[in-house]
């Protein structure tokens, strides 16, 4: 008996129907329109319209005001308080950005391991970043008091001469504020760097170790360059937040002593809501916005250029 084997029928290749409209790419964009309209209407339009008051002498209550042109900006440039506030803002921002990122990276490197309690320790260090800045600042204010825990601790270890009124001392008040802000920002930087570290293939460090590269060389040649995207995000975010510091300064010192901790944000608030100079305060807000925009955009461009070079 002869058996004849028949070849299986050729599989039919299904072709996508022609002429079907492509709506998958455009449909998600349509859902963004209501949110964008709400954002523009509720945030950006009032901001742009409110910027006009920077060129007036409006006191915030009267319906009548005069156009003063650039007088508010000239007064800010010539004012001793506003110039001191600008210097304080820049010094505090530079200190906070450097310290928070160095400490955040150090903690990320230390906690990027397989220890059993790493998740608990990460949560403990990240907790200050999600707490209320105003509430935590009041806690630190108690710590820095003359009869507070910090001076008691110094006295307990025989360092009574180091004790002082930290928030009332013109020399130390600004650094006390910086300590509080760094304590809050470090956890955010740590999480960003941890995310970057976990995206680096472990095989690279293992291969470098086999080739005889030490820990510092591996960090400098492998880890740090591959952390460039995380570094860009962490530095940019901390810069924006540090330049706009307000809650911590108000709760700790109120801008004192003798204006040593006053920032552009606190001076803007005082001039606007305490003294009723809404035009002057709006001009200060525009200057602060310009400072933050220039600093963040410049930093972002430099760091992005560095990322492209590494790639």
Over residues 186-193, the mean pLDDT reads 94
More confident residue, 255 or 117: 255
- pLDDT at res. 309: 74
User: CA–CA separation, 55 vs 74, rounded Å?
Assistant: 11
Q: Looking at the chain, how many residues does it have?
A: 311
- CB environment 215-252: b (16+ within 10 A), e (fewer): eeebbeebbebbbbbbbbbbbbbbbbbbbbbebbbbbb
pLDDT(249) > 90: yes
- 15 domain residue, yes or no: no
Tell me the H-state helices in the chain. 27-39, 45-50, 71-78, 80-111, 118-130, 133-143, 149-156, 173-198, 202-210, 215-218, 224-226, 228-243, 247-252, 264-269, 278-310
- 32 domain residue, yes or no: no
- 45 domain residue, yes or no: no
- 5 domain residue, yes or no: no
pLDDT tens readout for residues 35-87: 899 999 988 888 888 888 999 999 888 888 899 989 999 999 999 999 999 99
Q: Structure tokens of 288?
A: 């602060």
pLDDT tens readout for residues 143-174: 999 999 999 999 999 888 898 899 998 889 99
- 2 domain residue, yes or no: no
Residue 250, domain CATH: 1.10.3720.10
Predicted confidence band of residue 18 (pLDDT cuts 50, 70, 90): low
CA dihedral 274, 167, 239, 131 (to 10 degrees): -90
- 56 domain residue, yes or no: no
Give how far the C-alpha of residue 298 lies from the chain's centroid of Cα atoms, to the nearest Å. Answer: 15
- 24 domain residue, yes or no: no
Residue 280 near residue 76, CB atoms below 8 Å: yes
- pLDDT at res. 6: 52
More confident residue, 311 or 158: 158
Q: Among 118, 254, 249, 255, which Cα is nearest to 184's?
A: 249
Over residues 9-33, the mean pLDDT reads 60
pLDDT tens readout for residues 100-144: 999 999 999 888 876 777 788 888 889 999 999 999 999 999 999
- 224 domain residue, yes or no: yes
Domain housing 144: 66-310
3 state SS of 215 = helix
pLDDT(1) > 80: no
Predicted confidence band of residue 3 (pLDDT cuts 50, 70, 90): very low
Q: Which percentage of the chain shows pLDDT scores above 90?
A: 49
pLDDT tens readout for residues 214-229: 888 888 888 888 898 8
Q: Among 180, 187, 183, 151, which Cα is nearest to 253's?
A: 180
User: CA–CA separation, 140 vs 137, rounded Å?
Assistant: 5
Q: What's the domain count of the chain?
A: 1
3 state SS of 12 = coil
Q: Among 135, 172, 130, which Cα is nearest to 247's?
A: 135
More confident residue, 274 or 8: 274
Over residues 280-296, the mean pLDDT reads 92
Over residues 282-295, the mean pLDDT reads 92
């Amino acid at each position: 008996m002869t058996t004849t084997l028949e070849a299986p029928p050729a599989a039919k290749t299904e072709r996508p129907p022609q002429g079907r409209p492509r709506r998958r790419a455009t449909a998600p964009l349509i859902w963004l329109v209501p949110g964008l309209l709400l954002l523009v209407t509720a945030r950006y339009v009032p901001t742009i319209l409110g910027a006009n008051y920077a060129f007036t002498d409006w006191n915030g209550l009267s319906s009548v005001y005069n156009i003063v042109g650039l007088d508010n900006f000239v007064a800010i440039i010539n004012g001793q308080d506003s110039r001191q506030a600008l210097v304080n803002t820049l010094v505090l921002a530079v200190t906070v950005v450097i310290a928070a990122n160095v400490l955040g990276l150090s903690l990320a490197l230390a906690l990027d391991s397989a220890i059993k309690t790493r998740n608990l320790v990460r949560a403990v260090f990240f907790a200050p970043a999600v707490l209320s800045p105003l509430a935590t600042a009041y806690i630190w204010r108690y710590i820095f008091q003359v009869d507070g825990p910090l001076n008691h601790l110094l006295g307990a270890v025989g360092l009574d001469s180091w004790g002082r009124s930290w928030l009332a001392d013109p020399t130390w008040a600004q650094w006390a504020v910086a300590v509080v802000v760094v304590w809050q920002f470090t956890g955010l930087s740590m999480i960003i760097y941890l995310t970057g570290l976990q995206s680096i293939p472990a095989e690279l460090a293992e291969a470098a170790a086999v080739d005889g590269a030490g820990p510092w060389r591996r960090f400098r040649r492998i880890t740090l360059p591959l952390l460039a995207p995380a570094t860009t995000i962490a530095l940019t975010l901390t810069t924006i937040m540090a330049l706009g510091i307000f809650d911590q300064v108000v709760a700790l010192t109120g801008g004192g002593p003798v204006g040593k901790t006053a920032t552009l944000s606190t001076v803007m608030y005082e001039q606007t809501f305490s003294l009723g100079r809404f035009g002057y305060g709006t001009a200060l807000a525009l200057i602060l916005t310009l400072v933050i925009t220039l600093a963040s955009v410049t930093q972002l461009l430099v760091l992005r250029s560095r990322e492209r070079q590494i790639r």
